[in-house]
Structure 1
């Protein structure tokens, strides 16, 4: 755990007592703060009390001596309207921050010679894979590292750093909205497509939240920017015009005079000196598709910026085992590959998956997000049949219409059984049963991990019983 300094004997309110919220309370207490903890959900409060937390109803608390309100990232900050406690904090002139800001404050409090390096990763899609891949590379080359944030362990639950530590942090727009002083020595912006617009109001608000990853960078730092979409290309131009940090563009399909890019199945380094081929992308079984080529380019560029030789990075990437719930190969049976892509909670993420395979028996649906799946039409010819589940099944069936054969399967279990039957009798070579929902999971599952775990369990049970 990373104790949070700067609030000794002072009151700090924490609202939202999920996993990261409870960790935040412990880290503040370890630093000497008086923690006022609350959650609106009675079951969550019960779990917090079981962990030893003392609760304080923040609606009835005395706010006159509260130094800060630490907000769970999932609680509305500005849209569709601020949460009532956010409004109360504004009335009382109490700053609203998140656990990532507390982490930033803890790092800033260290003597300069003991401060770790921080690699931050954001973007609409690819954050988790890129974060995990960077962590894997650092592990393989023997560096002291910590991976956390929006992936794995809550940021304040990680071990305190040494001077040689590298933090690799996945940063969502929700988390960045609550950050003020975080400095990323390497800030990675992968891509930007419409998502979470209900939370940020519009695309401009979403983009502004993401852009906060570059706040506080200096001339010693690097910004690594995926430039394959117009929004992100604009971000690169804005940063270059600012002439502050070093800007390194990356691409998964175009040649660059400066940067790191994928072309012709090769990863190419054009950051300094002549262009060099550094990695055979076609050999990376656990990182298929153009979107993963971008993730590899970002990870390579980030670790290369730390001074690690190219060949060591390439060797480490080749041993990456893949990320659970993101194009995860669950198993192969009678020539059918079963792919768990449960983390694809929007159409843009699912597009990456559909682009990676042919002869797809597609399991999709759940709680729909704005925009539906109409944007996936270019990939419909790759789909043999769709098996639709959850709240979005009817709407998705209407979108697919005559373009793709589909069935409203209702449940994930039923969808898998129908897909396995059809894939086994379809006569197609190398068929793929792909769970890539293009939807949130909350209509039938706790989260996308739960959905993916259930899929994995169902596949294993059927392969084992075959």
Structure 2
């Protein structure tokens, strides 16, 4: 863990006892702070008490005695209304921050030489974070990856000038980190998201902008208007900026076109890598992710030849367009993280002959926005509560069949794909739905798909050898 020593001897309140909250409490205590914890969940309070944490009902505590209130990212600061614990802290003049702010302040106080990369964006931030970490690790660097992906930031190894801390940050976490100033800040893109929490798009964008606003180097996607405007503002004040794009060439930075990624040197694009042979980085959106990773790793001293080789060995992120099995020309791809239509669009755009497994608990609008991709779908295999709705939205443009279980859908899709004579047939789980009707979360749904896919692939292999 990363002990928070800059608060040694101070009294701190902590609200929110999920995974990151517990890690934060342990890090504060390890650094010498006295920590009082609370949660709206009685079950979480009881579990924390069993672990020996000091339980104080913050509804009744004297908030003025605390140096700070640390809250979980899900605790609202402004919209739809401030959480009661935030109101109590603000009335007492106590700062309200999160674990990312603690990390930032501890690094500044004890180990400012530790390299720090912060990544955000509406889409693609987890893949980009994992890709940057993979490239650095493959090239021999000690990488600590965490934040909004995997391990809580304060659960990473102790700060060291020999390590690179690659941290994914959500808008919720940024909102609680007023001192955020990474060595390299990455803003991939902006589109409407979490507006119930942030009020409107302008406020949401202003929060995301903080990741690059105080960074020594800002890596900014310029394929949407709001992000492009942010990049321009930074350049107007002579901040170091690398632009990235998956649509057009850029004057400075890295861009992707038709599966090829180029870095600009002296006004000319020099090819870094051809991603067409990478199953895990298909699609134009992954061109943007790769462009961001190239810009970051180049700034950290890696050579283009090192970066190129490591890119092609990236295994992909679990449940995000990840190839999980193959039998002959049939590829099985787990995109369980695609819990809405916009996310599913990336996977549908990346393949040409798709045996599409979709459904679950539908989001507003269902899959009606995906009509332009229907010609790429050979057949649809529909599951869950949304099966009837999705069949109607397909409207006969795609042949569809409803199934009572994911496993049955995988078996049928594999059987049909196995009879396809094309160069590549893709059995794709990209549900466009939440998982909660049949699975506890998208990870469990994805694991179930992987197990069924491996079994179905083996059946195809066995049939091919007879």
Instruction: With the length of structure 1 as denominator, give the TM-score of the two structures.
Output: 0.91
Q: Identify if the C-alpha distance between structure 1 residues 232 and 342 changes in structure 2 by more than 3 Å, giving closer, same or farther.
A: same
The corresponding residue for 1:31 is: 31
**Residue 235 of structure 1, aligned match among 206, 230, 235:** 230
Q: Is the 8 A contact 1:342 1:435 kept in 2?
A: yes
How far residue 368 of structure 1 moved from its aligned partner, in angstroms, is 3.7
Alpha-carbon displacement from aligned partner over 1:343-363 (angstroms, at most 9, x marks no partner): 223322211111111221222
- Of 198, 213, 216, which aligns to 2:214? 216
| 2:138 matched residue in structure 1 | 140
Instruction: Provide Cα deviations, 1:408-456, integer angstroms capped at 9, x if missing partner.
Output: 4354334333433443456665321111122333443333222212221
**Contact map agreement 1:260 1:271 (CA 8 A) in 2:** no
Aligned residue for 1:293, secondary structure, equals: helix
Distance in 1 between residues matched to 2:353 and 2:110, nearest whole Å: 54
Distance in 1, matches of 2:378 and 2:28, equals 53
Contact 1:267 1:279 (8 Å CA) reproduced = yes
Q: RMSD value over aligned CA atoms?
A: 2.3
Deviation of 1:2 after TM superposition, in Å, equals 0.5
Show the counterpart of 1:197.
195
CA distance in 1 between partners of 2:70 and 2:109 (Å): 19
Instruction: Show the 5 A alignment for 1:255-274.
Output: 255-272=249-266, 274=268
Paired residues, number? 460
CA pair 161-198 structure 1, distance change in 2 beyond 3 A: same
Per-residue CA shift, 1:9-34, capped at 9, x if unaligned?
Answer: 32222222111111000001111111
> Which shifted more, 149-158 or 347-356?
347-356
Counterpart of 2:332 in 1: which secondary structure? strand
User: In the alignment, what sits opposite 2:154?
Assistant: 156
Moved more, 228-237 or 399-408: 399-408
Question: 1:87 maps to what in 2?
Answer: 87
* TM value normalised by structure 2: 0.91
Q: Distance in 2 between matches of 1:90 and 1:392?
A: 43
Match of 2:453 in 1: 459
- Note the 1:69-108 alignment, pairs <5 A: 69-108=69-108
- C-alpha displacement of 1:209: 2.2
| Superposed CA offset, 1:104-123 (max 9, x none) | 111111254xx211111111
Q: 2:341 aligns with which of 329, 334, 347?
A: 347
Q: Give the Cα separation in 2 of the matches to 1:391 and 1:87.
A: 39
8 Å contact kept, 1:223–1:247: yes
- CA distances 1:213-237 after superposition (whole Å, capped 9, x unpaired): 12433xxx11111122233222222
CA contact (8 A) 1:344 1:350 kept: yes
Q: What is aligned with 1:318?
A: 312
Structure 1 residue ranges without an equivalent (≥5): none
How many Å separate the matches in 2 of 1:53 and 1:398? 53
Q: Pick which of 121-130 and 382-391 moved more.
A: 382-391
User: Do 2:137 and 2:143's aligned partners in 1 also have CA atoms closer than 8 Å?
Assistant: yes
